[in-house]
Structure 1
Amino acid sequence: MSHSSCVLSTTELCFSYGGRNTVDRVNLQLQAGTLTALVGPNGAGKSTLLHLIEGRLKPSQGTVNTSKPIGLMPQRAAIDWSFPITARDMVQLGTPKKGEAAAADHCEQLLERVGMGAMGSRRLNQLSGGQQQRVLLARGLMQQTDILLLDEPCSAIDPPTRDHLLKVMRDQAEAGQTLLVSSHDWGSALDSYDQVVVMDGQILANGSPNMVREKLSDLTCMMGSHCCG
């Protein structure tokens, strides 16, 4: 895993909504082949920041700097799971027709990797929450981008599923992909990632898990008392 080169940075990035900055002067750097957690409470601006980086939102001010393609895995709540397609169809949604056979093979490999190899033919509405998260991760990986943003991939799932998804993400980082993962799961963020960014509109702390743990012991925590223990 290489941490030597910055593949994405933001400079004084802001986004205003309803008369206030939901993202307020965010300066962030991501190194190649790293797994970074973006941690904060609901309403902290995490999803907004991901959408700014990916390009679907335009900043009020500041810049996103990268020359690498960026993919996004959306929140499970943002998907209509009643849509009448299979898990396999979902993973391949938007895949170009060119190279269809190779894409189909890659889809099957990814379903296997996320633990859904035997369930590709199931309809989306037949899947549990954890299975839906696995399908979304496979779809994110299907994009094969240098940078992948993941919005709450481990929310509302059981610990074994969370651990499996974190291992898949870790393997991707080891292979050179750069991943930024939003989460409100403070405990696993400190133990599972290369870099932890704590956000509540602004960045409150940013660094290695140990550095962030020390930093937050000196801050008034805005995410509830459980996160500073």
Structure 2
Amino acid sequence: MSNSSCVLSTTELSFSYGGRKTVDRANLQLQAGTLTALVGPNGAGKSTLLHLLEGRLKPSQGSINCSKQIGLMPQRAAIDWSFPITAQDMVQLGTPSNCNTTSANHPNQLLERVGMGAMGSRRLSHLSGGQQQRILLARALMQQTEILLLDEPCSAIDPPTREHLLRVMREQAESGQTLLVSSHDWGSALNDYDQVVVMDGQILANGTPDAVREKLSDMTCMMGSHCCG
């Protein structure tokens, strides 16, 4: 895909916390309408990078070039699921008042899309981990942003749920939304995504799954032999 379709780029983006540089001179480009996996080990800086791109954190150095709206689906662990609201309330929580709600992005329709159509009135505390992941995705879709960042949306869930969420994300990319998805699942990243970004503080590889697979096989992998498989 040509650079003319680039919707977000970073130049030498860095972030330091407690004297440690968690993101180190990251140069990244996201192309419009692509589904991109962001993979790396624990502590690689994936969540920090997503928070920098979304604006929750300010970089120590470098720049972000983006003129599009950016939304973020946080990790499930970052949410207080004892909050006394329903699944439908959660989908609408934080939605801008000027958000154009249509039949396609009505909370009930979004719950249906993620396989939670019968759970709208259920309290958050009564949902399983996989159900909570689906609620967070529906909430992220409700924001209608042109770029969507998802932090470990498929972690600790069963394979059928993971496949369902991947299908929803693929549909969003095919509709023109740009998605960047952090993950520990190397197999899925190299088989189910348009682009793959490999990160361990720095960005070690960035390209199509085939190009990344070839690059990893040619380099000394410092993140464990499984990442080169």
- Find out whether 1:27 has 2:27 as its counterpart: yes
Distance 1:58 1:98, change over 3 A: closer
- Find out whether 1:122 has 2:122 as its counterpart: yes
Measured after TM superposition, the shift of residue 104 of structure 1 is 10
Aligned to 2:148: 148
- Find out whether 1:7 has 2:7 as its counterpart: yes
**Structure 2: how far apart are the matches of 1:194 and 1:113?**
22
Moved more, 161-170 or 2-11: 2-11
Moved more, 11-20 or 95-104: 95-104
Retained in 1: the 8 A contact 2:110–2:142?
yes
Distance 1:106 1:210, change over 3 A: same
What's the RMSD between the two structures over aligned residues?
1.9
Retained in 2: the 8 A contact 1:4–1:32?
no
Aligned to 1:213: 213
Q: Secondary structure at the match of 1:95?
A: coil
Which amino acid in structure 2 is aligned with residue 221 of structure 1?
C
Q: Which runs of 5+ in 1 are unaligned?
A: none
Q: Secondary structure at the match of 2:106?
A: helix
Moved more, 88-97 or 133-142: 88-97
Distance 1:188 1:3, change over 3 A: farther
Measured after TM superposition, the shift of residue 219 of structure 1 is 1.8
**Structure 2: how far apart are the matches of 1:213 and 1:100?**
41
Measured after TM superposition, the shift of residue 203 of structure 1 is 0.7
Query: Percent identity between the aligned chains?
Result: 85
**Structure 2: how far apart are the matches of 1:28 and 1:71?**
17
Retained in 1: the 8 A contact 2:216–2:228?
yes
**Structure 1: how far apart are the matches of 2:204 and 2:99?**
45
Retained in 1: the 8 A contact 2:148–2:180?
yes
Distance 1:160 1:4, change over 3 A: farther
Aligned to 1:182: 182
Q: Secondary structure at the match of 1:116?
A: coil
- Find out whether 1:170 has 2:170 as its counterpart: yes
**Structure 2: how far apart are the matches of 1:51 and 1:222?**
25
Structure 1 length-normalised TM = 0.95
**Structure 2: how far apart are the matches of 1:70 and 1:83?**
25
Distance 1:78 1:224, change over 3 A: same
Aligned residues: 229
Retained in 2: the 8 A contact 1:15–1:60?
yes
